């Protein structure tokens, strides 16, 4: 007989069923039976199993039917007479796959998320993490759906790379050289390390973004998207930064910055409504237990147009503010999280898209506006989160791009292939990157980004 998922049981007809899962709680009744709450991860809800003590072999398994143990239950699905559930399984046979002694850490009480991070191998069995991972799963599926429905091609870009897309230099180096005794170029003990002897014959890193490779394929397939792991070796110990995170990066030929912003807005709205429709039970849970405004917030975002303003207007708004900021508000300086949040939470009270940033503070690949002071960059900023998307129209003019590389001390020879795209059949094009974990964080209302990825990697932490 095939196992039925609890999710399907709850809507299913009565009759003979086989359920498998982990015991959440057990309650013994004086009437000679016990109630077991079983969960199998298919949904938030548990199924109640009624175990008569007269079941064959019951006495031999009774001690093993404790919180955390894994069981297989054969029985009859019936309407429940008790309160709190509509259906229950009247067991005819119970087998214990694995018992869980009393030192099982997830006994029935609330645990802090900090504690649960230390037991990342068991935390998926809690209600919160089960719900987070089902929502994360749905969002991943919706991302593919959104782009596939529009004919975008899913592209896998390399994880090991020789180029630094963002030019920030915060990359993890990949090497097989013996760190205690690396080969030296001139043979001297303190000479430069000879990376020609390294595995790839040159210095290599973990990618910070698939964009540059994505652009190559957009110049052939017109509309592509990547969805993969990216890495940043920045020492940021915040609730919004990971050293390893997943990024979604669409790249489109023939899109200007306005088209890019339109797509970003449509994309976010699609993802939010799709998850509200398909993860209703889990979203109710977040709304009840994690953030009581989350459903209302998501709905408002879906129903209202994002505010779009230039960087220059954003600076004016901030300079008008009565709030004292930690970081300076001056044209030419980067917007900090405190500025971004003030604008979206206090001034506009909704998502905003800031565009046309000063040339000096943005990457070399962004298209220079007329006048040369700003570039066609855009950031999507959400209330309570800050930046979720960073993107731009790309510089498609060979000479202008070459000059910007030189100005920013980027060796054009290392990016000869990127320049080639501007030499042979160049086209206006744009793209953006969305931080997947920030999206999951925003949708669930979870406070810390470390709690929306199965195994977070952060400074000084790569356990599990």
Binding of Mg ion by 431 (CB under 5 A): no
How far is it, in rounded angstroms, from Cα 284 to Cα 45? 12
Minimal distance in Å, beta carbon 438 to ligand 4AD?
4
d(CA 49, CA 85): 11
Q: How far is the CB of 238 from ligand 4AD (least distance, A)?
A: 9
Q: For residues 71 and 20, is the Cβ–Cβ distance under 8 A?
A: yes
Do residues 281 and 44 lie in contact, with contact meaning Cβ atoms separated by under 8 Å? Answer: yes
Of the pair 285, 311, the CB lying nearest ligand 4AD is at: 311
User: Is the Cβ of residue 96 or residue 388 nearer to ligand 4AD in the bound state?
Assistant: 388
Q: How far is the CB of 390 from Mg ion (least distance, A)?
A: 3
Selected range binding ligand 4AD among 129-137, 183-191, 336-344, 428-436, rule: CB under 6 A: 428-436
Which residue's CB is nearer to ligand 4AD, number 195 or number 246?
246
Among 387, 395, 396, 451, interactor with ligand 4AD by CB under 6 A: 387
With residue 297 as reference, give the H or E element that holds it.
helix 294-303
**Closest listed residue to residue 311, CA positions, set 330, 287, 291, 283:** 330
- Contact between 389 and ligand 4AD by CB under 6 A: the answer reads yes
Judged by DSSP in three states, 174 sits in strand
- Asked if 166 is part of the footprint of ligand 4AD (rule: CB under 6 A), the reply reads yes
Among positions 229-248, residues that touch ligand 4AD (CB under 6 A) are: 232, 241-242, 245, 247
Say whether residue 391 binds Mg ion (CB under 5 A): no
Decide which of Mg ion, ligand 4AD, none touches 362; Cβ closer than 5 to 8 Å per partner kind. none
CB closer to Mg ion out of 390 and 445: 390
Instruction: Identify what 161 binds: Mg ion, ligand 4AD, none; CB under 5 to 8 Å per kind.
Output: none
Q: Measured at the alpha carbon of residue 258, what is the angle toward residues 256 and 263, in degrees to the nearest 5? A: 95
Helix (H, G, I), strand (E, B) or coil at 402: helix
Q: Minimum distance between the CB of residue 281 and ligand 4AD, rounded to whole angstroms?
A: 27
Q: Are 28 and 65 in contact (CB under 8 A)?
A: no
Q: Which is nearer to ligand 4AD, 194 or 234 (CB)?
A: 234
CB of 390 to ligand 4AD, least distance (A): 2
Measure CA 150 to chain center. 22
The tokens describing 242, both together, are 């990971």
CB of 389 to Mg ion, least distance (A): 8
Does 157 bind ligand 4AD (CB under 6 A)? Our answer is: no
What's the closest the beta carbon of residue 387 comes to Mg ion, in angstroms?
A: 6
Build a one-symbol-per-residue string for 192-221: x at contacts with ligand 4AD by CB under 6 A, - elsewhere: -----------------x-x----------
Instruction: Tell me which of Mg ion, ligand 4AD, none is bound by residue 209, counting a contact when its beta carbon lies within the kind-specific cut-off of 5 to 8 angstroms.
Output: ligand 4AD
Which residue is at the shortest CB distance from Mg ion? Answer: 390
If binding is defined by CB under 6 A, does position 432 make contact with ligand 4AD? yes
Q: Which one of Mg ion, ligand 4AD, none is in contact with 211 (Cβ closer than 5 to 8 A by kind)? A: ligand 4AD
What DSSP element (H or E) covers 309?
Answer: strand 307-310
* Binding flag, residue 377, ligand 4AD (CB under 6 A): no
Looking at the Cβ atoms of 46 and 209, the one nearer to ligand 4AD is 209
Kindly tell me which of 255 and 432 has the beta carbon lying closer to ligand 4AD. 432
Residue count at the site for Mg ion (CB under 5 A)?
1
Handedness of CA 254, 257, 259, 260 (dihedral sign): positive
- Going edge to edge, which strands form the sheet with 374-382? 153-154, 223-231, 244-253, 429-435, 386-393, 374-382, 352-358, 307-310
Q: What's the distance, CA 244 to chain centroid?
A: 10
- Among 214, 351, 386, 390, the residue binding Mg ion under the rule CB under 5 A is 390
**Distance in angstroms (rounded) separating the CA atoms of residues 215 and 225:** 10
DSSP letters for 100-159: --TT-S--SS---HHHHHHTTTTGGGSHHHHHHHHHHHHHHHHHHHHHHHTTPEE----S
In 3D space, the residue among 38, 56, 29, 462 whose CA is nearest the CA of residue 242 turns out to be: 462
C-beta of residue 410 within 8 angstroms of C-beta of residue 167: yes
Residues forming contacts to ligand 4AD in the complex (CB under 6 A) are: 165-166, 209, 211, 232, 241-242, 245, 247, 249, 387-392, 431-435, 437-438
Residues engaged in binding Mg ion (CB under 5 A): 390
């Amino acid at each position: 007989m095939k196992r039925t998922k609890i999710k399907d049981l709850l809507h299913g007809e009565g009759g003979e069923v086989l359920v498998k899962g982990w015991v959440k709680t057990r309650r013994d009744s004086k009437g000679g039976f016990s109630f077991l709450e079983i969960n199998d991860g298919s949904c938030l809800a548990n199924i109640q199993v009624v175990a008569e003590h007269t079941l064959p072999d019951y006495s031999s398994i009774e001690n093993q039917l404790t919180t955390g143990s894994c069981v297989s239950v054969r029985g009859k699905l019936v309407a429940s007479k008790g309160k709190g559930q509509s259906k229950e399984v009247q067991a005819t046979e119970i087998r214990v796959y694995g018992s869980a002694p009393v030192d099982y850490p997830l006994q029935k009480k609330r645990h802090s998320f900090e504690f649960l991070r230390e037991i990342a191998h068991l935390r998926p069995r809690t209600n919160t993490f089960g719900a987070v991972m089902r929502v994360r799963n749905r969002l991943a599926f919706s991302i593919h759906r959104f782009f596939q429905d529009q004919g975008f091609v899913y592209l896998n870009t390399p994880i090991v790379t020789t180029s630094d897309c963002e030019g920030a230099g915060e990359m993890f180096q990949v090497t097989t050289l013996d760190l205690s005794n690396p080969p030296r170029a001139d043979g001297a003990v303190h000479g430069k390390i000879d990376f020609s002897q390294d595995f790839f014959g040159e210095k290599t890193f973990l990618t910070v973004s698939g964009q540059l490779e994505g652009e190559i394929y957009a110049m052939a397939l017109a509309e592509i998207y990547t969805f993969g792991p990216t890495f940043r070796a920045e020492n940021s110990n915040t609730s919004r930064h990971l050293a390893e995170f997943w990024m979604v990066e669409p790249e489109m030929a023939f899109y200007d910055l306005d088209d890019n912003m339109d797509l970003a807005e449509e994309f976010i709205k699609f993802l939010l409504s799709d998850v509200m429709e398909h993860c209703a039970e889990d979203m109710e849970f977040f709304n009840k237990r994690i953030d009581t405004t989350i459903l209302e917030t998501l709905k408002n975002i879906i129903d209202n147009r994002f505010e779009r303003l230039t960087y220059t207007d954003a600076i004016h708004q901030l300079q008008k503010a009565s709030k004292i900021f930690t970081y300076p508000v001056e044209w030419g300086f980067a917007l900090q999280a405190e500025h971004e949040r003030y604008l979206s939470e206090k001034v506009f009270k909704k998502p905003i898209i800031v565009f046309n940033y000063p040339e000096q503070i943005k990457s070399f690949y962004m298209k220079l506006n007329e006048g040369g002071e700003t570039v066609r960059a855009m950031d999507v900023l959400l209330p309570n989160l800050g930046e979720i998307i960073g993107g731009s129209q790309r510089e498609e003019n060979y000479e202008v791009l070459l000059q910007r590389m030189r100005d920013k001390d980027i060796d054009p020879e290392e990016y000869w292939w990127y320049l080639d795209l501007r030499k042979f059949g160049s086209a206006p094009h744009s793209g953006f990157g969305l931080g997947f974990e920030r999206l999951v964080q925003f949708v669930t209302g979870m406070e810390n980004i470390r709690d929306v990825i199965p195994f977070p990697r952060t400074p000084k932490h790569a356990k599990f």
